[in-house]
Structures are given as C-alpha cells and as structure tokens.
Structure 1
Amino acid sequence: MNIAFLYIAEPYQCYHGASLALALEAYAGVHVVNYYNFPETQEHLKRISRAMDAPEPEMRFLERSFSIKMHEAAKRLDRVKLMLLRQNAEELNQYDALVATEYTAGILRKLGVTRPKLILVLHGAGDRLVDDEALMRDFDFILLPGPKVEQYSLQKNLVRQGHYATVGLPRMDVCAAMQQDYPVGLFSNANPFVLYNAHCKRKLSSLQRFMPALFKGFQAQSRYNLVVAPHIKTFHKSLGMKTRFMKRYNAPTIHVDTYSDRLIDMTYTAHADIYVGDVSSQVYEFLVKPRPCVFLNPSGVNWRNNPHFLHWNLGEVVEQPEEVMPAIMRAHAVHARYRPLQEKLVKESLGDPVLGASKRGALAIMRFMKQRDG
C-alpha cells in the first residue's frame, strides 16, 4: 500500500502528521512518502523521526513552476497552495491513500486526483469556527481529535458513520517524544514566564490591541517574564515587516519569538506558568497540565453560551487592555474555580488518554483501507 502525506503549508503541519506517517510505515507492506512545500519542513521531519526512534522518512519537495516561485516571492501563499496541488496532481494520483492536515487538500478531486482515498487529520482541537470546514465533506476518511469535535462534526454533517475515527491528536505523541527542555537563556532571571499566544488572523488576533499594554505592564513588575509567541503563520505573509515590528517589544523581561522551533514544538506550552491568548487551539495543548489562563476579547464579542468560544470558560476573560495585567497577577489565586472544567474539556478535546493517537490513527486508517479493498 502506497500512502502520500501532504504538508502544503508551513513546517508546523508536519508536527500533526509525521508521527502518524511513521506509525503507518510500521505496518508490513506500507510505503509512505512525505510531500512538503516549505524547504524547512524537511529538517523538521528528520527531527521528529529521530525523536521517535524511527528511520528517516522518504521526503519529496513539491514540484513548482517559475510562476509558482514568483507567487511565493510575493507571499501569495494561499494561491501558491492551489497552484502546487494542480501541478502535482498527476503524481499524487498514483497513491492508494493521500493524507493531509488541512482542508485545502479536499479540492484535489476537482483537480483530477481520483485514485487515492483522501484522508484528513484535523490538526487542531479548538472551538473556533473555520471558514472552509465544509471541505471536510470532500474527504473519504477523517481522523478527529476528541469527542467534542466528533459531536460538532456530526451535528454539522461534516462526517458520516464509517468514514471517520476519533483517535486524539498525533501531535501530542511527537511533543512527548521530544521531551523539550525548559527554554533557558531567554532571560537573565529565574522567574516563571507567561506565554502570550495570539492568533495569526488579524480579525481574530488580540495582538494589535493588547501588546502595548503587555509591554508596559511586564516592564513595570518583577514577578514574571513574558514570552510572546504568536502562531508562526503571523509572519509568513508580511515580507518581514511584522517581524521587525514585533522585535521592537523585546526587553529584559520580554522575549518575542518570530521564527524558532519553539513556536511549533510545544516547548512554550509545556513550560509556561500562565497562558494568555485569544482563540488559538493551542490552549488545549497547554492545559494537558492544568494551569491558569487569561483570555483576551479585543472586539467585545458576546462569547457566553457560544460554542466557538467554549475555551473562554477556562479562565478570566478581559476586554480592555488596562485589565490584562491585574488578571495575570491574580490568575493563580482564582485558578481553582476553573481547574475542574479545564480537566473535563481537555479530555473532550484531545481524547483520553492523550498519548497514543498516532498508533490509534494508523490502525483506523488501515482498517478503513482494508474495508475498501475487501
């Protein structure tokens, strides 16, 4: 059985699929090829295989025309994805199964990729409404992270019985295998750090409204350090402008990370003392070990009883920049009231047990493929 894994976006995607690919290749007669878009993804795939004590995977850089390269240089990355899929469709059509970690791959059927079964690995376990989630219906089989997403997907008719499995988040296996060390060397003191994880989309992000208050507030106290670690996609379309803008906020007690591996390998979520964010699903990865959270509502959204903001029930929610530092300072004092729900929602979001999703997912895919052949 020949299976292709497709990483069409930034290297962070391979942390959601690589361990699943390794688990599949452990089956007799299964051959996996990893196709990637960003050159840096190759080193991340090698890093993951080493951490999981597995052979180096087979990797292929997606072929691209001169026109695609020109669009890449102009940072038209969404258009590049579609062009890459179109150019590589003939080669991808040779496989028995094609596994992707984002919805965009659902358009492959319209591009003539008819032979392989299209398999989707949902790469987040959050609550946010995603614009293109309807593309889930174009996949033959889907791996879901937990009961919460399963229930939602069934209610919206995004999945159908016999064509999905709820297995957990393979990414958690990768990060457990890596056993990231505490990020030393960022600060000259030994204070714990607060993680600020803003969403990459401007209309959803709290970065512009709340970063000045965080910058001022953390310089005026001596209890915590601050790691500013927005989603890595924040910086890939700005021709370096956002990176330069954010670096202005570096200070003795503030570290702004715009490029390191720590943005995607769970180093920060594993070791932070408090989580501050808006709508990123990384909060559930942070809460595998229950800890205080503060959520930022820059637009004054009416979030209560809205399932797309369910995680905002797991910590204090603030709407005004001047409220954020007091909320951080009392976060530990009020954490007890949020901890029971944190533990409950982590199980519903990531499954129980959290670890083992890669092997469970591989088994589910093998069963599905054999049923198809049978």
Structure 2
Amino acid sequence: MPDEILFLFNHDAPHQVAHIAGIARALAERETGRTITCATATIAIRDRVEAVLGARVAGQVNWLDIALPAWLESALALPNRVAPVRRVMRLRHHARRINAATVVVSAERTCLSIRDPAGQAQFAYVPHGAGDRMVSYHPGKGGFDRILVSGEKTAREMIQRGVAPAERLRVVGYPKFNTIDLNRRERLFPNDNPVLVYNPHFDPLLSSWYDHGPALLDWFAGSAGQNYNLIFAPHIMLFRKTLHISLEYRTARLRPDIAPHWRTAPNILIDTGSTRLVDMTYTLAADAYVGDVSSQVYEFLVHPRPMLFIDAFSRDPRSREGAYPAWRGGEVARDAAGLAALIPGLWQRQAALRDTQAALFADTISHQPGHPAVLRAAEALIDLAASPRAWTPR
C-alpha cells in the first residue's frame, strides 16, 4: 500500500505495545496524507493498542489482522512454548502485505527475517525498553533503516559497537512515557509500611529469580520482612513459560513456581500476568526497586528512589555482560540474604545516590520540554517515509 506507515504488534504479550502505539497515535493525529496501519494478531493485543490510541484515533487508523489460520495457530501451540514460532510464522504468512508498506515500525528485530531485499519498504526499530543487556546492541539490529532510541547512551553504544552508523540513529526519548500518567500512585496495601517492587527478568542465565528469588520472597513472608510490603512484579514473559531457553547463552532452566504461603502473606502482592506489569502501575507505586537486568529500572527512575539489585551472573564464565550502568544507582547483593540485609536504612542512604541516578536517567532517557517523545518519533518516521532507501540491508 503506497504512503503507508505500518506498526507491527507481533507479540502475544502486551509489553511492547506502549513503546510504539503512542507514536501511531501521534502520526494519526497530525497526518492526513498517509495511511497509518496497526497490525495485530490477537484480540488482547488489539484491545491494548486501542486503549493507547483512544476511541477517536482507533477509528481513524487502518487495522490489519496478522493472525494465522486457526488450524496453524493450534498446530504451533506446543512448539511455541519453547520458541516464538507463532511470531515467526505470522511474519512469513503475511510477508508480502507487510513489505508493501512504505515504512514498517517494530519493537523487535524478528521482522527483518521477512524483509524483501528488492522491495522499497523501509524498516524502523523502536526498542521496547532502554536497558543495558548485550542483546540491546545485537548486530542484527543494524538491518534497520532507522533506529529510534530513547537516549544518548543507546545511540553512543550502538555506534561504538558497530551496530549502526550515526546517520541511521535518531534520539527521540521514551515514547511509553507519553502514554502514561507518570504522577499517578496507587495505594496497594492497607498500611503505610515501605513498598518494594521485585522485578526479576526472565533470562535463565541473567535473572535473579531462579536461584535467589524464592528465598527473597520467603524473607518477606517471614517475621523479618513484616515491616515491609512487597510487590512481586516480574517481567511479563517470566511466567509465560515453565521452561526458559536462552539461545544467546545456550542454556535452559525450569522456572520456580509461586509457593502458596507467598500468596497468603498479607504484605506480598503477586502479579505474574496482568497488564499492570507493563503500564508502570507497580514501578510508580513502589518506594524502592529490587531487580537484576530488566530495563524497567529506568521506568522506575522517572522518580528517583532507592534501588537494590541481585547480581546472579557476573561470576558465571558464560556471561558476556559487562558492568550494568543502572547498578551504579543502587546497591548490589549476591543473594537474597545479602539483599535483605541492605533493606534497613535503605532510604537514609538514598541521598548519596540521587545525583548518580539523575545522571543515569538523563543519559538513558532524552527529554525535551514541549517536544514529547511520540512527536519526535513521528517526525523521524515522516522523514524516513520521504527518503529513498540508500543502502542495502544486511
């Protein structure tokens, strides 16, 4: 379709939606000569996209259903528990239609697998997060015509690591922030005790959940932790599978499940799958953050507060990860016992880390008063749509 900017929401979980749906909304509100298309595969994802767009804009954009035939969706259900075969197959099934767009916008790099090297479609990437993992700088991301990053940190690292040259990068800020009320704070417990949010990642090598998370929840559920409230809000993909496989590190692990006594503890809120895991409800409601490598730490830092981390991997010889910048803004423990020992006095020690946190946030999330990230991203896409492709994809 000529003069079309197509937003690809090719995931079964909703955590990528807010990173690009707000940009689609900004384009639809200002563009009159281009078709803005939202491609979704499930009713749940379409509902989330519509919620970000709002009813008026949702009625203006074009919708493309990229679901597979029912028989194929069913046949892929079992292998999809191990690898994202449904996502890949959807792309292949709808490759011709996707490649017919002027610009394809995605929050993941799998879309490059169906790119027509002889076609005219240009592909733009918006990271679904602003984290520091090595995967953030995967060389495969160099296959995009334009990469819209949140801040100077990611742009600098992508250039230095040879992922993409400066001319294909645009610093636009963090579009997700423009879809959320950053000043809201829900009261989630019936007391005034400090609230900590524990946000472990799903990667079987890097995550703290597999070896240390259960012991940490035991501490909060026991007598020692009763002066604190805990929100257990893992990365939304952690409880989507029981077996997690890391192709990056060639390892696999069974995920520990939720113990019954954690659910009955009055000071623990457990959420392993709701949309609150991705709409910043918990990172805005907490008084302190506990994590490992999730990029949600930077969403937490929109309001600087104490942070604690569990380093579960730096001593593992398989790890290729360097020192995590975000860890400089908090305190790091090796296990649950070490982290629990850091909680008393945590807020009194925060003053010494506030300037470091502010610097980390400013380097990671660009902010221009009066020029929101969704608008900066929309302008970058309009510029891309008007530019002929001047290079050959890898």
Does structure 1 residue 329 correspond to structure 2 residue 331?
Answer: no
- Give the superposition deviation at 1:32: 1.2
Distance 1:131 1:368 in 2: 22
Cα separation, partners in 2 of 1:203 and 1:242, compared to 1, 3 Å = closer
Cα separation, partners in 2 of 1:312 and 1:120, compared to 1, 3 Å = same
Number of matched pairs? 366
> 5 Å matches for 1:135-284?
135-176=140-181, 180-184=184-188, 187-219=189-221, 220=223, 221-238=225-242, 245=258, 249-250=262-263, 251-284=265-298
Does structure 1 residue 370 correspond to structure 2 residue 370?
Answer: no
The amino acid that maps onto 1:218 is F
- Give the superposition deviation at 1:63: 3.1
Aligned partner of 1:28 among 2, 25, 32: 32
Cα separation, partners in 2 of 1:367 and 1:293, compared to 1, 3 Å = same
Provide Cα deviations, 1:87-125, integer angstroms capped at 9, x if missing partner: 110111221110000111122226x68231111112221
- TM (norm. structure 1) is 0.90
- Give the superposition deviation at 1:64: 0.8
- Give the superposition deviation at 1:243: 9.0
Cα separation, partners in 2 of 1:235 and 1:283, compared to 1, 3 Å = same
Distance 2:154 2:33 in 1: 32
- Give the superposition deviation at 1:320: 2.6
Cα separation, partners in 2 of 1:132 and 1:155, compared to 1, 3 Å = closer
Checking the alignment, whether the CA contact within 8 Å between 1:197 and 1:230 is kept in structure 2 is yes
Aligned partner of 1:312 among 319, 327, 337: 327
Secondary structure at 2:210 match in 1:
helix
Checking the alignment, whether the CA contact within 8 Å between 1:273 and 1:292 is kept in structure 2 is yes
Q: Which residue of 1 aligns with 2:22?
A: 19
Q: Which residue of 2 aligns with 1:80?
A: 86
Q: Which residue of 2 aligns with 1:345?
A: 360
Gaps of 5+ in 2: 244-253
| Alpha-carbon RMSD | 2.6
Distance 2:279 2:260 in 1: 21
Distance 2:178 2:77 in 1: 32
Q: Which residue of 2 aligns with 1:292?
A: 306
Identity fraction in percent: 30
Moved more, 315-324 or 112-121: 112-121
Aligned partner of 1:61 among 51, 60, 65: 65
- TM (norm. structure 2) is 0.85
- Give the superposition deviation at 1:3: 1.2
Gaps of 5+ in 1: none
Indicate the structure with greater helix content: 1
Provide Cα deviations, 1:315-362, integer angstroms capped at 9, x if missing partner: 110003211112122221211221111000101101124871100010
Secondary structure at 2:258 match in 1:
helix
The amino acid that maps onto 1:369 is A
The amino acid that maps onto 2:208 is S
Secondary structure at 2:37 match in 1:
strand
Checking the alignment, whether the CA contact within 8 Å between 2:120 and 2:389 is kept in structure 1 is no
Checking the alignment, whether the CA contact within 8 Å between 2:367 and 2:373 is kept in structure 1 is no
